[in-house]
Chains A and B, each alone.
Chain A
Amino acid sequence: MAIKDYIRERFFPHLWCSGCGHGMVLNALLRAIEALDIHKSDIVMVSGIGCSSRISGYVDFHTMHTIHGRALAFATGVKMSRPELNLIVPMGDGDALAIGGNHFIHTARRNIDMTAIIMNNRIYGMTGGQYSPLSGFGTMATTAPYSNIDHDFDVVELAKAAGASFVARSTTYHVQQLTNILKAAILHKGFSAVEVLSQCPEYFGRKNKMGTPADMLEYYKENTTTIGSKKKQENPDLLERGIFVQNDIPEYCSEYDKIIEQAKKTSGGKTK
């Protein structure tokens, strides 16, 4: 299948601004799914609210466009009722880690089989450039005109601490690595958290004088490196990219099935 077979062409050109990284995440994700050769009716994409969350309108899978911060909760319901389907949950940084922060850590802890993609542009794009929990100290935003005094999360460390069994990070500059990581994340049985640094030229870029969309991509190239590289030893400020965690631990839906079996046995088959 060509990647165009996985989109709803009638809604293109999409609504994202010129040079928005979210379109590049879509591009990489479509290539990952094409490479895995998953049938589109075996995929459910659940998103919340934000520019990032609009991605669910463009893919020709089963899709749910739900409410801000709650995509993982809806996805949990879908997965529990149809565990054979592949759940993909793209979220904005605000969606996943401000309003949705609690859902995020507890879904990770529970280890339910789904792929969460945190499309981190370090801003609330949809609502006009307010700072997010990922903006970081010293950045500019509509709501931080004299610079932001909030510190940011490290999404990878947060996901690790919350118990996610697959944790990875890449950027929109590194589209081939991103596609490979998304493939591994989708195949992983358990909760996968993939952080993608995704540029918002319209707000984060403009407020922070980051230049053209291509300049923002060059910034990802200059300021990141592969996990454990020599460059990282020389410059500890570089952000690492790659797969940080890939653990095989009991998955929620499988364990739930076992509980049902056990309950049937101990009730002497009465529920059968």
Chain B
Amino acid sequence: MAKPKLKEHLINRDWCKGCGICVELCPKNVLELDNENKAVAARPVDCICCKMCELRCPDLAIEVITEDDK
């Protein structure tokens, strides 16, 4: 299987509570909390599309969309 290619991180700012779980546990340090304490993809080029941020988010606030996703 080819390596998944990132399209975008969909972050629901109304649902994100800024807990930092996705930021602190991302293996590639892709994410950050902005000045409103919401997650943002600061370094998307480093993303390996492991989707751990999406699977771990307690608020269902982040989705990793790859080229393979419809």
Contact surface of A with B, Cβ cutoff 8 Å: 3-4, 7, 12-14, 16-24, 26-28, 30-31, 172, 175-176, 179, 201, 212-215, 217
Contact = CB atoms under 8 A, between A and B. Distances in A.
Given A3-B60, A12-B15, A27-B60, A212 B20 contact: yes
26 contacts: A12-B14, A13-B17, A14-B59, A16-B58, A17-B17, A19-B20, A19-B58, A20-B58, A21-B58, A22-B58, A23-B57, A23-B60, A24-B56, A24-B58, A27-B55, A27-B58, A30-B60, A175-B55, A176-B55, A212-B20, A213-B19, A214-B20, A214-B23, A214-B24, A214-B25, A217-B25
Contact of A23 (B18, B52, B59): B59
Interface of A is mostly: helix
A27 B17 contact: no
Interface of B: 14-15, 17-21, 23-25, 52, 55-61
A37 B61 CA distance: 22
Interface of B is mostly: loop
Contact of B60 (A12, A22, A212): A12
B15 A13 contact: yes
A182 to B, nearest CB: 13
B65 to A, nearest CB: 12
A187 to B, nearest CB: 21
Contacts of B55: 27-28, 31, 175-176, 179
B60 A18 contact: no
Given A12-B15, A13-B15, A28-B55, A213 B60 contact: no
Given A12-B15, A13-B14, A13-B15, A19 B21 contact: yes
B17 A19 contact: yes
Given A19-B20, A172-B56, 9 more contacts: A19-B21, A23-B59, A24-B58, A26-B60, A30-B60, A212-B19, A212-B24, A213-B21, A214-B23
